[in-house]
Amino acid sequence: MSITLDVDFQNSDDIWTSTAETVHPGNGGVVRRIVNTIDAANKFDAVSDATSPAYRTPTAGALLLANIDYDGTDDNGSGPVISTFLTASAFDILVAFETDTAGTNNANAWQNTGILTESGDYMGLFVKNGSLMAYNYDSNSDTVLIAISTGTAYVARMRHDSGTLYLSVNGGAESSVASGNTGSLAGGVILGSDGSTARKFNGKIGAIVVANTGDELASRYSTMVTDWVTGAAPGGGGFIDRHFPRGILRGVTRGIA
């Protein structure tokens, strides 16, 4: 299995009010630390309570499951170097999100509203002028854009495979552009902002999954669209999933067992 990052903000084991990792934030509480369930050593931290996103129940927006809410002003978090999670020639990324704004509209691709980016400005997923944008820099700025709407639930799939950068949303057709190896993977991962942390994301993120191969997550993609967007399948987006964090339920079932 080549999944390297798996964080689900419905899961109470993944989010904490402080770096002590002892208290779930509860609705409206600050999320100071995010823990990767694949490798708990890989953590994402906000600098302070003021720069921490807030935990939200599903009723706070269009996403069907709990999420964390970035205010577009100062919220963001940083984590390990991007090479921890992907390679220069291949990656597969899923993000459940909704945006409250149309994003920035800067000519330089990396200088736009970031959802999942890295501090070296070599790759990332952005909101740009009413579109979702996948970006990869080889020796050129390669981008793929798909029009999106504010206040709408999406699962994005951004992947890089065999010299091509792909983007799709909610299980739809992929758009693509030729793109070579990512120029550098030395930057740290940034959540909720561009790589310089100057252009903050105003919206919600529900889950992030990353694999270090180019076509790993097709099945997970379908499941996430059901869970976070459509709620159409049995057990997907149902009452239990929407109203009770999975980590809490795991603790209850462990106690019963």
Binned average pLDDT, 10 residues per bin, the chain of 257 residues: 89 89 92 95 95 89 93 96 97 98 98 98 98 98 98 98 98 98 97 96 97 97 96 49 40 31
Residue 62 in contact with residue 38, Cβ under 8 Å?
A: no
CA distance 245 to 48: 24
Reported pTM: 0.90
Q: Tell me what pLDDT residue 1 has.
A: 55
Q: Write down the domain spans for the chain.
A: 3-256
**Class at the top of the CATH hierarchy for domain 3-256:** mainly beta
Q: Nearest-CA neighbor of 5 among 62, 80, 60, 56?
A: 80
Contact 148, 131 (CB under 8 A): yes
Contacts of 93 (CB under 8 A, 6+ apart): 86, 116, 125, 156, 157, 158, 159, 208, 209, 210, 211, 217
